[in-house]
Structure 1
């Protein structure tokens, strides 16, 4: 598939931009020569060579084997060095808090986790300190100096959902006056980046799966349910960073001879499944011990999937009445086969509801998996410090004859 040229600049004041541009192209397309970079960006071959040489000297790129063409000297492609930089990601969850270390390619190096009954600010700080110490043992001294930042994925306004997630109100209320980002900055030497956990999961889908659609809606189903809005190839987080608060969307469910209005979180969340299991007298250990394998009675699971699929279909239809999304991606903190069934349930239900005047999107399962929030957290410093966003990349595109 031909690569569309991307406009660069020879001005020294845009050197940082052009370095990000080169790194982004190398990450997206693999090893490239300076002549290929020049053709793709509009930079001169000399300027592309200078930028790539500087990035190599800084330890971010490596030379690959020369490629001999039909004429002239062989070209020497360069690629992103996996050990060029490392990034930490902290996910604060209802049942489990996790931290991962990824390399410059986005590949996990090591991950640690800590289950708990309910997250607390103090417990989170303690875990972060212990987890960082454990993860640093994976790296030698030189590599430790190449850690470029810590991203944090956390539910926003967690105290408002105590009843839905079955957490003690007084414990959850302790988050109300906490600035977890500030507290982490006081303890670690790296830049700290904070994002809503579902938005971070959506960011992971963008960063590591690179969906073909420019505009899509993303759902992540955990103890709560949230999501992300992707417009023109970039994650839109809104003025308060809380765009994609999909769990708050109203849905209408059948209730005997009538109906009732609830929020999406009440029917399409792991917490809602836990309530069904509790009502049925089924132990919760069968779904809390692992995100790769659950032991849930089929009748309980099937009922939950049907209700969640109905709620998701209504939420999708409402969202598409505002923005004509090309696709909807559904992911969650549960086994892949359950996610596939849930996506199919939402897809089957969506085509049966009245949608006059609305073009229905495609619906599919996410590609990153249950670890999306943690990997999304780690990708925050990767993009903030080294790469161009898809929107910036698209805005810089020029025609091939320019």
Structure 2
């Protein structure tokens, strides 16, 4: 059995009565295994797939034909070697499936559609007029409708599902925010769209996206951190995401963060006093976290994600490299400011098409 490096965390809940993509509603484990390998390695021959999966050549041929029939994989150009017949690489078809991601935050719904290889197709941000169940529900369905209006009939038929992510907590003393966490939005979305709906914590889903499509695609052990007003870590060991009672480490209060984020959105750079203060606080907290982690686990990679432009993330990465030990590789997430919606969009693909390790 191959070493699968991106086993998905279990989704919190899955809405029943799934719809959409009926032709690939339930794929066999072996088919999922082959698609998982193709997600890890772009362009593999039948021989390579057999070597990595342990499946027979006949089984590989049957699976590849089935996936071709469902338009989930495509053949590349034959490569002629020095010895033997030409070999043909097999790759996932980017347009073989699509997935919708929705992230609920205090101020807006962040949304994204990605294709089968994780490329963003459409992105959208819908502001919330109020933070209550009815407003969130109406904004979610309106945002999905707006996204679907961008797709043609053939693309809509290939929607693998809807991923929905929520923060691990809102303010404990605000009943309306706790009501949002308790409400069954996934059933609302299933009834509205007819698609299968997957729900997960926002940071866990984004860390999962990194292991599926991002910088952590071929990394076994790493620390993923999402930073805003809090530092939100996820430890990934052997390709599995460990959450447990993961702490949220405060960087600043919500009001300070909102002012800082508004300044960044308006074009402030790292020389802005508020931005510089936030960057310095993040670096100090991350350094402390890395040192604490070193007492019980060894990781060589740290991936940072934040709802800020790449220029600010790059400064954060550079500042942290000067602080932490030389043995730790620090990189920024490739998903950018819309990472949480991107993480949500990977949930249906992870759950429908990849092989989970035991």
Q: TM-score, length-normalised on structure 1?
A: 0.73
How does 1:278-297 map onto structure 2 within 5 Å? 285-288=262-265, 293-294=267-268
Structure 2: distance between partners of 1:71 and 1:301: 59
Structure 2: distance between partners of 1:79 and 1:350: 38
Does residue 380 (structure 1) correspond to residue 347 (structure 2)? The answer is yes
SS at structure 2 position matched to 1:91 = strand
Structure 1: distance between partners of 2:31 and 2:350: 13
Is this contact kept in 2: 1:216–1:326, CA < 8 A? yes
Gaps of 5+ in 1: 8-14, 163-168, 248-263, 278-283, 352-358, 396-402
SS at structure 2 position matched to 1:174 = helix
Partner of 1:365: 332
How many pairs are equivalent? Answer: 336
Deviation at 1:61, TM superposition (A): 1.6
* Closer/same/farther in 2, CA of residues 366 and 314 from structure 1, 3 Å limit: same
Does residue 109 (structure 1) correspond to residue 121 (structure 2)? The answer is yes
Gaps of 5+ in 2: 5-26
Deviation at 1:18, TM superposition (A): 1.1
* Closer/same/farther in 2, CA of residues 372 and 102 from structure 1, 3 Å limit: same
Partner of 2:233: 227
1:344-377 deviations in whole A, cap 9, x for unaligned?
44444456xxxxxxx9744443333222211111
Structure 1: distance between partners of 2:269 and 2:82: 61
Range with greater deviation from structure 2 (22-31 or 377-386): 22-31
Structure 2: distance between partners of 1:270 and 1:312: 19
Structure 2: distance between partners of 1:82 and 1:194: 24
Partner of 2:49: 37
Partner of 1:133: 145
Deviation at 1:383, TM superposition (A): 1.0
Does residue 82 (structure 1) correspond to residue 94 (structure 2)? The answer is yes
Partner of 1:309: 283
* Closer/same/farther in 2, CA of residues 370 and 72 from structure 1, 3 Å limit: same
Partner of 2:32: 20
Structure 2: distance between partners of 1:73 and 1:183: 54
Deviation at 1:55, TM superposition (A): 1.0
Structure 2: distance between partners of 1:360 and 1:37: 33
* Closer/same/farther in 2, CA of residues 294 and 196 from structure 1, 3 Å limit: farther
Q: Which has the higher contact order (CA 8 A, sep 6+)?
A: 2
Structure 2: distance between partners of 1:383 and 1:58: 18
SS at structure 2 position matched to 1:84 = coil
